[in-house]
Amino acid sequence: MASLKVYIVRRVLLAIPMIFILLSIVFLIMRVAGDPVSAILGGHAPQEQIEQIKQQLGLNKPIIFQFFGYIGQLLRGNLGRSLIWGQRPVVNEIWDHFPATLELSISAFLISIIIGIFTGTVAATHRNRFLDHTFRLYGIITYGLFIPWIGIMLQLLFGVYLGLLPIGGRIGTLMEPKSITGLYVLDSLLTLNFDSLVSAIKHLILPSVTLGVYLSGIYTRLTRTHLMETLEKDFIKAARARGLSERAVIYKHGLKNAFIPILTMMGLQFALLLVGAVLTEITFSWPGMGTLLFERITYRDFTTVQGIIVFFALIVVTVNLLVDIIYAYIDPRIRY
């Protein structure tokens, strides 16, 4: 396992240039147009005062100084402070919004995995028959679905016409559970707060179904292809020849083996989950990272946007790393 440590360290080190490149792109491009002070004051304060505030924020220095100053801080683990409003530390801003994104992502991910593996397995075991074609089409269609559109359609149906579910927000008035993890559903369960739990789940249903359905198609396709491939393998034939039941063959031997490539793809598809989460959040005014990002771009809150980019990049790296570790755990052939 020592070699696994080496592997992790190497992967993390490789992430550094990636983050650096992304940051440079974002950093330079963001400064092309506009600045936060003007975006907020918008002509109200006298010009001299605007200049003065820019100076306080260090926005009047040459870009290259700003850039290396920022990188220097970043290397010390400091994401800096927001440039607008309260100049709150960017870490706090992210910390306030991340649990919402996490909660949405987790529930959407679970929904997509359940739907995806189920439909994919059915398709793979009904190769070239009606159910196979149906679920393949399902895979293609869901991938082409435009999240805001599905979201709006669900809002119309369940929110506006049927009035069953709220169409935005995370929880009802005065229902916020005591914060432990920041995930409302989990916190409500931990504090046994029944009202909060109901409210949190109600608010979570539409956004996570929207995102979950969108992502499920990918898992349908992945499961189908890889399970089909696996079911062609000799050891499946061998397992059948030993008299194992079809369920044992498909689930224990087939799906478990097919899961390895699916897992790798999950890591690669993780970026898609984040993208989907951003759109879902904006459609459902879900107070997460996507909403934060969009709001701060409009105000040219450079440091917060940069912070979010770094954070997203770190998440992507971490998840990929995690996938590799799980991969090594599931597949005895892999040892780093």
Q: In the range 140-159, which residues lie near another protein by CB under 8 A? A: 140-141, 143-149, 152-153, 155-156, 159
Site residues (CB under 8 A) for another protein, limited to 69-98: 84-87, 96
* DSSP one-letter code for 335: -
Sole binder of another protein in the list 201, 321, 325, 328 (CB under 8 A): 201
Please say whether the dihedral angle defined by the alpha carbons of residues 69, 74, 76 and 80, taken in this order, is positive or negative.
positive
- For 284, the token pair is 């459902």
- For 145, the token pair is 């679905």
DSSP reduced 3-state for 62: coil
Each residue 229-248 as x (binds another protein by CB under 8 A) or -, in order, gives ----xxx-xxxxxxxxxxxx
Sole binder of another protein in the list 74, 106, 175, 328 (CB under 8 A): 175
Cα 168 off chain centre by: 19
- For 144, the token pair is 């082409």
DSSP reduced 3-state for 86: coil
**What's the closest the beta carbon of residue 262 comes to another protein, in angstroms?**
13
Closest CB to another protein among residues 4, 132: 132
The DSSP annotation for 256-301 comes to HHHHHHHHHHHHHHHHHHHHHHHHHHHHTT--SHHHHHHHHHHTT-
Whole-number Å distance between alpha carbons of 111 and 215: 9
Q: Among the candidate windows 4-12, 18-26, 71-79, 118-126, which touches another protein by CB under 8 A?
A: 18-26
Q: Among the candidate windows 1-9, 71-79, 101-109, 126-134, which touches another protein by CB under 8 A?
A: 126-134
Closest CB to another protein among residues 68, 235: 235
Asked if 298 interacts with another protein (CB under 8 A), we say yes
Site residues (CB under 8 A) for another protein, limited to 257-276: 257, 260, 271-272, 274-275
Closest CB to another protein among residues 9, 153: 153
Closest CB to another protein among residues 71, 244: 244
Whole-number Å distance between alpha carbons of 20 and 51: 30
Asked if 125 interacts with another protein (CB under 8 A), we say no
- The kind and range of the H/E element at 34 are none
Site residues (CB under 8 A) for another protein, limited to 314-333: 316, 320, 330-333
Sole binder of another protein in the list 172, 261, 328, 336 (CB under 8 A): 172
Residue 76 · residue 179 · CB < 8 Å: no
- # chain residues binding another protein, by CB under 8 A: 122
Closest CB to another protein among residues 53, 122: 53
The DSSP annotation for 130-163 comes to HHHHHHHHHHHHHHH--HHHHHHHHIIIIIIIS-
Which residue has tokens 């793809």? 265
Asked if 60 interacts with another protein (CB under 8 A), we say no
Site residues (CB under 8 A) for another protein, limited to 25-54: 25-26, 29-30, 32-47, 49, 52-53
Residue 326 · residue 263 · CB < 8 Å: yes
Closest CB to another protein among residues 5, 133: 133
**What's the closest the beta carbon of residue 170 comes to another protein, in angstroms?**
8
